[in-house]
Amino acid sequence: MLLFATLALVSAQETPLRIDPRLLAQAAEVWGVVASDDNPVWPGWNAAETPLLFYFPGEQEVLVNHPRPPASFRPYAGPIAIDGWDIRVHDGETLFTLDGQNTTRTVAGVQTLVVADTLSNKRPTWRMLLSDPEAELGLDVLSSDPYGQMGTIAHEAFHAFQTRWSEGKTASETLLLHYPVLDVENEVGVALEARALADALAPGTAAELEAAALRWLAVRKDRRARLPAEAIAYEDGTEFNEGLATYVEYALSYALEGREPGPGMAWVRGFRGFGDLAFVRERLVEDMRAFLSGERVVNDDPYGTAPVRYRLYYSGMAIGALLDELDPEWKERIMEPETTLTGLVEEALAPTAAMLDEALAAMEEHPDRAALVAEKTRLRAEGRRIAEEKVQAILSGANGLVTIDYSALGAPPAAWGYTPFGLTPVDDDRVIYGMVPVSARFDDGSAFRQSAVSPVLHDASARTVRFQLAGPLEANAAPSEGVVADEVLELPGATLHLRKARLTRSGSGLNVELLES
């Protein structure tokens, strides 16, 4: 049983929590399900081995059950107590400086679940909405959903368990560069998959579920016949990694049903107990349909790679839920090196070619298909226009353009630091990296690292990397022209480490030609 102390005034000797204490209560409910040897969500997963880190950027971190807590964390002394939890607190500088980083990270040598404070998770949305005077700031926007928050905690905790099987199964984000973003037939196919998956997960008979699953499989196989191998590998790998973690959110709702919540949950806004949680699953299935159809997008960006990546969270979830009905042993099988979610469904259904042809023909006649083709055609044209506008904004910005020419090195940058949610493919040669400060290291060891967000244009054909500075180059601080070696340039919003390069000024900008050492 989870035990919570009653709330009391914090004394001078106690440690005030700057992290939302209700977040700890929600995590305790999740741990009550997944931190045991008989975990009903995923056999063999005992989350008791995973420490938890809650944080608010630059304010406070709360570390729970870490076997070797860093010395900077002091034991928590206060009114909140959870049975079996060792709670430690660190104020000031935090491991994560960005909002909303719900992830896993090695802390003092131990893989640790990281959860952002409820306000930290909401702050990026609020910033965007507050710039719009007509934005609706209702309760659903301003507050956090406790069921969604518990799902996020379980999602990220599963990643810590999943890492032991991740080698060779989790997709490299570089494969996104090979994905045909905004391809009309592919986007229509994904949207039709969503409709078949939603049909399969709706209440009905086993025969109706299998028929809908067959329609989904037929559309997927037909769609993937036109995809490059790298794009298929990206889908399979991301459905394994993020899709299974989202499936854990779905399965958690079943595991929580009927449980008696701890008293701390009584203080959580919007919590209505653990009775019938079908509404949680219905919401996840609706999210799946909306994100795969393109009706809803992440980061308010329908044109780049963000929608591609994020929809795989939900397609993987839905396929997992489908396999619960088709193959009870699927959770053990999916951890095998070459096994994919799609492959498991095909194996369970064992369809003939004629069955697949018939199912595909039915989906080709789907009443939504014509409207989907028209919408995806419009989106492709609009996306191309937006991408070119982004290119021109980089090339003609007012602060000063940095151009790094690496053609003398031959090889493209050896490593990039970016978010896959911020990629905008322009054409086969050009891609824009955005949304976060970007970094790259070149083959000779030269590198750049941004300290401020400024979209970066990489042209693989021209062998150039370009971005606008965060501010103008002051004349007295501008680098000298000529050849430099082992030079570090501190520019507005970016630092350049140059092994050997030729510098030339171009108006308010700077050209950097990397040279062989």
Q: What is the pLDDT of residues 224-235, one digit of tens each?
A: 999 999 999 999
The residue among 498, 490, 488, 434 whose CA lies nearest residue 466 is: 434
Q: State the Cα–Cα distance between residues 179 and 258, nearest whole angstrom.
A: 43
Query: Do the bridges between strand 401-405 and strand 509-514 make them parallel or antiparallel, or are there none, so unpaired?
Result: parallel
Q: Based on the fold, state whether residues 204 and 72 are members of the same structural domain.
A: no
> Is residue 133 over pLDDT 70?
yes
Q: What average pLDDT does this structure show over 401-420?
A: 94
> Which domain range does residue 461 map to?
396-514
Q: Based on the fold, state whether residues 160 and 184 are members of the same structural domain.
A: no
Q: Based on the fold, state whether residues 197 and 299 are members of the same structural domain.
A: yes
Q: What average pLDDT does this structure show over 90-110?
A: 91
Which pLDDT belongs to residue 135?
Answer: 75
Q: State the Cα–Cα distance between residues 95 and 58, nearest whole angstrom.
A: 9
Triad 461, 463, 469: Cα angle to 5°: 125
Whether the model clears a pTM of 0.85, i.e. scores above it, the answer is yes
Query: Would residue 30 count as lying in a domain?
Result: yes
Which pLDDT belongs to residue 126?
Answer: 78
Q: Considering 166, 193, 208, which residue would you say is the last residue of a domain? A: 166
Q: Based on the fold, state whether residues 323 and 434 are members of the same structural domain.
A: no
The residue among 106, 113, 141, 108 whose CA lies nearest residue 55 is: 113
Q: Based on the fold, state whether residues 38 and 130 are members of the same structural domain.
A: yes
Which pLDDT belongs to residue 262?
Answer: 94
At residue 491, what is the residue type?
L
6 contact partners, CB below 8 Å, separation of at least 6 = 79
Q: Based on the fold, state whether residues 457 and 477 are members of the same structural domain.
A: yes
Whose structure tokens read 């349909």? 289
* Lowest-confidence segment of 81-85, 361-365, 476-480 by average pLDDT: 476-480
Q: Based on the fold, state whether residues 311 and 405 are members of the same structural domain.
A: no
What is the domain count for the chain? 3
> Is residue 8 over pLDDT 50?
no
Mean predicted lDDT score pLDDT of the chain: 92
Helix (H, G, I), strand (E, B) or coil at 56: strand
The residue among 312, 311, 322 whose CA lies nearest residue 345 is: 322
Phi (first) and psi of residue 116, to 5 degrees: -75, 150
> Is residue 2 over pLDDT 60?
no
Q: Based on the fold, state whether residues 236 and 148 are members of the same structural domain.
A: no
Q: Considering 347, 379, 411, which residue would you say is the last residue of a domain? A: 379
Query: Would residue 2 count as lying in a domain?
Result: no
Residue 342's pLDDT band, with cuts at 50, 70 and 90, is very high
> Is residue 6 over pLDDT 70?
no
Q: Based on the fold, state whether residues 427 and 498 are members of the same structural domain.
A: yes
132 contact partners, CB below 8 Å, separation of at least 6 = none
CA 183 to chain centre: 22
Query: Would residue 239 count as lying in a domain?
Result: yes
Q: Based on the fold, state whether residues 296 and 420 are members of the same structural domain.
A: no
Q: What average pLDDT does this structure show over 316-328?
A: 97
Give whole-number Cα distances, 511 to 44, 320, 440, 447, in Å: 55, 51, 17, 14
Share of the chain above pLDDT 90, in %: 83
Q: Based on the fold, state whether residues 220 and 289 are members of the same structural domain.
A: yes
Which pLDDT belongs to residue 477?
Answer: 66
Q: State the Cα–Cα distance between residues 473 and 510, nearest whole angstrom.
A: 9
